[in-house]
């Protein structure tokens, strides 16, 4: 599926996810991203990006116009990287690997318990829609309120918080995947850095070429200035000689008159 604009998809059944979308819309004032809940796409459309509902319900996904898919913390970083001053925040995360690892683990933990957080903060889709004001109401398509209520009613009222042992059991089998994603992003970052260095080197080389051209073009001017100085000195010497000759002539005239 070809995209005209970078696409961000999220779980439309999650109240806190919808609250996050509101923040994303404030950041993306120029609408660089098209933001939609994954429920708006058919399974065939999701499959075109090698995705399915099970993958999308666990973490946000960002699809670039080139077809590359970023998920979870990497998708969040890809989104923030497009905007100032968030770009600085993302830069430091990738410069300091421990921050990236903490972000990935924090995102996983937060995503795992997001429904508990939504219930605790009373971030239902209904209350969210009431407080969500857009210039164009069709900018974001939400699932219907009735469908949302139906799905929420099927969920258990109370869920136990995630324990440390459950967290370890969740992280360990996925650590290799996270490590591969980190390596992949590092490779992309190194490629971007090398490209930047190459561009800087090219600009510096052009600057050096211009400087050499200026030096070469300025040499005849310096020679002319030097010749002007020599010529001026010679003229000054001639003037002095003329003055001396005039003085000698005047003295001779005086002597001839006396005699």
Predicted TM-score of the model (pTM): 0.49
The predicted structure's pLDDT at residue 132: 42
Token pair, residue 125, equals 């889709």
Residue 35 has pLDDT above 90, yes or no: yes
Task: Phi first, then psi: give them for residue 34, nearest 5 degrees.
Answer: -100, 115
Reduce the secondary structure of the chain to three states and give it as a string: CCCCCEEEEECCCCHHHHHHHHHHHHHCCCCCEEEEEHHHCCHHHHHCCCCCHHHHHHCCEEECCCCCEEEHHHHHHHHHHCCCCHHHHHHHHHHCHHHHHHHHHHHHHHHHCHHHHHHHHCCCHHHHHHHCCCCCHHHCCCCCHHHHHHHHHHCCCCCCCCCHHHHHHHHHHHHHHHHHHHHHHHHHHHHHHHHHHHHHHHHHHHHHHHHHHHHHHHHHHHHHHHHHHHHHHHHHHHHHHHHHHHHHHHHHHHHHHHC
The predicted structure's pLDDT at residue 130: 42
The predicted structure's pLDDT at residue 150: 52
The predicted structure's pLDDT at residue 65: 87
The predicted structure's pLDDT at residue 37: 92
Tell me the per-residue pLDDT of 193-239, one tens digit each, with 9 for 90 and over: 888 888 888 888 888 888 888 878 777 777 777 777 777 788 888 88
């Amino acid at each position: 599926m070809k995209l005209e604009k970078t696409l961000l998809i999220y779980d439309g059944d999650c109240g806190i996810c919808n609250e996050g979308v509101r923040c994303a819309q404030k950041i993306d004032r120029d609408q660089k991203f098209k933001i939609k809940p994954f429920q708006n796409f058919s399974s065939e459309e999701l499959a075109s990006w090698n995705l399915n509902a099970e993958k999308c319900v666990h973490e946000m996904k960002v699809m670039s116009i080139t077809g590359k898919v970023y998920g979870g913390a990497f998708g969040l970083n890809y989104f923030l990287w497009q905007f100032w001053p968030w770009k600085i925040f993302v830069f430091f995360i990738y410069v300091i690997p421990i921050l990236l690892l903490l972000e990935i683990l924090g995102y996983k933990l937060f995503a795992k318990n997001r429904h508990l957080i939504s219930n605790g903060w009373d971030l239902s889709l209904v209350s969210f829609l009431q407080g969500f004001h857009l210039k164009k109401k069709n900018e974001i398509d939400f699932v219907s309120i009735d469908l949302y209520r139906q799905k929420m009613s099927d969920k258990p009222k109370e869920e136990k918080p995630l324990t440390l042992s459950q967290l370890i059991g969740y992280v360990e089998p996925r650590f290799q995947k996270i490590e591969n994603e980190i390596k992949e992003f590092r490779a992309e970052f190194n490629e971007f850095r090398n490209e930047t260095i190459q561009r800087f080197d090219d600009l510096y080389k052009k600057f050096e070429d211009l400087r050499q051209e200026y030096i070469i073009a300025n040499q005849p001017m310096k020679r002319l200035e030097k010749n002007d100085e020599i010529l001026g000195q010679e003229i000054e010497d001639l003037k002095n000689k003329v003055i001396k000759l005039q003085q000698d002539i005047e003295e001779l005239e005086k002597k001839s008159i006396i005699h």
